[in-house]
Amino acid sequence: MFHQIPDHEDFFSRRCIWVNGPVIVGAGPSGLAVAAGLKRQSVPFIILERANCIASLWQQRTYNRLKLHLPKQFCQLPNFPFPENFPEYPTKYQFIEYLESYASHFDIKPQFNQTVESAKYDETFGLWRVKTTSSSGADVVEYLCRWLVVATGENAEKVVPKFEGLEEFGGHVMHACDYRSGEGHRGKRVLVVGCGNSGMEVSLDLCNYNASPSMVVRSSVHVLPREILGKSTFELAVVLMKWFPLWAVDKILLLLGRAILGNLEKYGLKRPSVGPLQLKNTAGKTPVLDIGALKKIRSGEIKVVPGIKRFSTGRVELVDGKYLEIDSVILATGYRSNVPSWLKDNDFFSGDGIPKNPFPNGWKGKAGLYAVGFTRRGLSGASLDAISVAHDIAKNWKEETKQKRKSIASRHRRCISHF
């Protein structure tokens, strides 16, 4: 399956390995889904993962109270349903258990602690050259392959905005990826920067630990109930889109949301002019599905504040001129793709690390390049792309393997004819 080739250029410090199949970068849900599809068709592959486990975002960079925001049937990976005894909205620990069972079931064994430093297509030989370093930095390996699957996803790196005076603040500052629970914030005044699902849930969690969160809302945000009329809001949207155009579904969801949640603008939560589904499709901005934060906002336990002007020792100045005395800051400022930092000389991905072609046409590039997990449609979108990628690679791999066998048989016949 994999053959080690001596690299005469730097024999003692670098190994060169030929992969008779695709190299998959990333062992999150997207990479696992592609690997499972290839396993089912007996196509060899290798998965490279920079962390020491599968689904490192879920295992190492999420808060304890996190649950799937959508019902489990919309989050399962191909050919492997969730256990029936799991709740409708599995916890992060149940989802991790599910992913580990998925990897075990399909016998997927990633190469851990392997960071891809660069991947470049070699036009001379018609191959991808994927260079990795081990976590220690001592081991350098170059993988050669015909197909490259980028499965690092939209959330590979945390986004940390720059704020004037933050270095003078003096209190504790962390990104939401390092937050686990409000235990260490009891009785503290905490500024939560960001009002997406993470910002809302971190603020709610802080309240449950008797902290005093103030949540920065810099721009407009869609907030919808997690369920409408006993059905998941997402499930209702899926059903409605079978009958109505997207703009009409947006209007229906907003009307129902306002009827259930009321007018949220008086609490500082201004609604965008573009509907929630259209905004998700065009900008990748996910609507907030409320699981209790709004109740705390209405009661004043979570304070909504405008944007930040600057920090100073022990406090922050807001754009409206007011000052807040605070003890710590949590940046719920999201994540981004890291593809531009390592995928070289390609025009398939845009500058922000997302494929230029929108869903459902963003999974296949040129020269054997594929992308999974960039649909801005969550796990269900990643699963659809994974199915397409695995099928396409398997078809090409089988055709090439067949041609090689024919070529070998032909050479064998010619050799026999000489005797």
pLDDT tens for each residue of 228-268: 888 899 889 888 989 999 999 999 999 999 999 998 998 99
Is residue 363 located within the same domain as residue 312?
A: no
Structure tokens at 414: 């010619």
Q: Are 133 and 120 in the same domain?
A: yes
pLDDT at 345 over 70: yes
Residue 18: alpha-carbon gap to chain centroid: 29
Contact criterion met (CB below 8 Å) for 187 and 208: no
Angle (nearest 5°) at CA 28 between 116 and 388: 95
Nearest to 169 by CA among 334, 376, 381, 329: 329
Mean pLDDT, range 200-216, rounded to an integer? 96
Q: Do 72 and 19 reside in the same domain of the chain?
A: yes
Is there a single domain that holds both residue 173 and residue 318?
Answer: yes
Check residue 74 and give its pLDDT. Answer: 92
Banded pLDDT at 357 (limits 50, 70, 90): confident
Question: Are 129 and 119 within 8 A, CB to CB?
Answer: yes
Instruction: Tell which of 284, 309, 334 closes a domain.
Output: 334
Instruction: Check: CB of residue 335 under 8 Å from CB of residue 156.
Output: yes
Amino acid at 419: F
> 216 with 193: CB under 8 angstroms?
yes
* pLDDT attached to residue 45: 96
Q: In 209-304, which ranges are continuous DSSP H helix?
A: 233-240, 246-261, 276-283, 293-299
19 sits in which H/E element: strand 14-19
Q: How confident is the model at residue 114 (pLDDT cuts 50, 70, 90)?
A: very high
Report helix angle 246-261 to 276-283, nearest 10.
120
Question: pLDDT tens digits for 60-79?
Answer: 999 999 999 999 999 999 99
Q: What pLDDT shows up at residue 139?
A: 86
Q: Is residue 10 part of a domain?
A: no
In terms of Cβ atoms closer than 10 Å to its own Cβ (0-12, 13-18, 19+), residue 269 is buried
Task: Decide if 413 is inside a domain.
Answer: no
- Any domain includes 411: no
**Phi, psi of 316, rounded to the nearest 5 degrees:** -135, 140
> What is the mean predicted confidence (pLDDT) over 384-393?
96
For the chain, give the percent of residues with pLDDT over 70: 93
Q: Is the peptide bond before 110 cis (omega within 30 degrees of 0)?
A: no
Is the model more confident about 194 or about 376?
A: 194
Locate 30 and state its tokens: 């997207």
**Same-domain check for residues 181 and 271:** yes
Q: DSSP states of 159-220 as a string?
A: -----TTGGG--SEEEEGGG---GGGGTT-EEEEE--SHHHHHHHHHHHHTT-EEEEE--S-
Single out the residue in 308, 334, 360 at which a domain terminates: 334
Flag whether 7 is in a domain. Answer: no
DSSP-based three-state secondary structure for 74: helix
Tell me which of 2-11, 372-381, 400-409 is least confident. 2-11
Q: Are 323 and 315 in contact (CB under 8 A)?
A: yes
What's the pLDDT tens digit per position in 13-58?
578 999 999 999 999 999 999 999 999 999 999 999 999 999 999 9
Question: Is residue 333 over pLDDT 80?
Answer: yes
- Angle, alpha carbons 263-283-61 (nearest 5°): 90
77 shares a domain with 36: yes
Going across the sheet that includes 2-5, the strands are 2-5, 14-19, 140-145, 127-134, 114-122
Question: Is 299 found in the same domain as 164?
Answer: yes
pLDDT for 412:
47
Pinpoint the alpha helices (H) of 284-354: 293-299
> Residue 416 falls within a domain, yes or no?
no
Secondary structure (3-state) at 121: strand
Average pLDDT over residues 166-173: 93
Return the number of other C-beta atoms located less than 10 Å from residue 197's C-beta.
Answer: 19
CATH code (residue 384)? 3.50.50.60
Last residue of a domain, one of 298, 314, 334: 334
pLDDT of 415 higher than 90: no
Question: Residues, the chain, total?
Answer: 419
Q: Is the pLDDT of residue 12 over 50?
A: no
Residues 294-326 pLDDT 10s:
999 999 999 999 999 999 999 999 999 999 999
The type of residue at 386 is A
Residue 8 lies in a domain: no
Domain-located, residue 287:
yes
**Same domain, yes or no: 177 and 321:** yes
Distance CA 380, CA 360 (A): 12
Closest to 200 measured CA to CA, from 117, 296, 270: 296
Looking at residue 411, what is its pLDDT? 54
**pLDDT given for residue 3 in this prediction:** 56
Contact 268, 217 (CB under 8 A): yes
- The answer to whether residues 243 and 138 belong to one domain is no
The predicted model gives 133-160 an average pLDDT of 91
Over 50: is that where the pLDDT of 407 sits? yes
Is cis: bond before 360, omega within 30 of 0? Answer: yes
Percent of the chain surpassing pLDDT 90: 74
| Average pLDDT for 121-136 | 91
Hey, CA dihedral for 305, 311, 312, 317, is it positive or negative? negative
Examine the domain organization and report whether 219 and 259 are in the same domain: yes
Look up residue 81 and give its DSSP letter: P
As a whole number of angstroms, the distance between CA 130 and CA 119 comes to 4
In a domain, 410, yes or no: no
Confidence (pTM): 0.89
For residue 321, the enclosing domain spans: 159-334
Tell me: do 354 and 399 sit in the same domain.
Answer: yes
**pLDDT given at position 41:** 94
Residue 11 clears pLDDT 60, i.e. is over it: no
Number of domains in the chain: 2
| 128 shares its domain with 108 | yes
- CA atoms 44, 133, 387, 403: torsion sign: negative
Q: Among 217, 384, 390, which residue's Cα sits nearest to residue 305? A: 217
What distance in Å separates the CA atoms of residue 112 and residue 27, rounded to the nearest whole number?
9
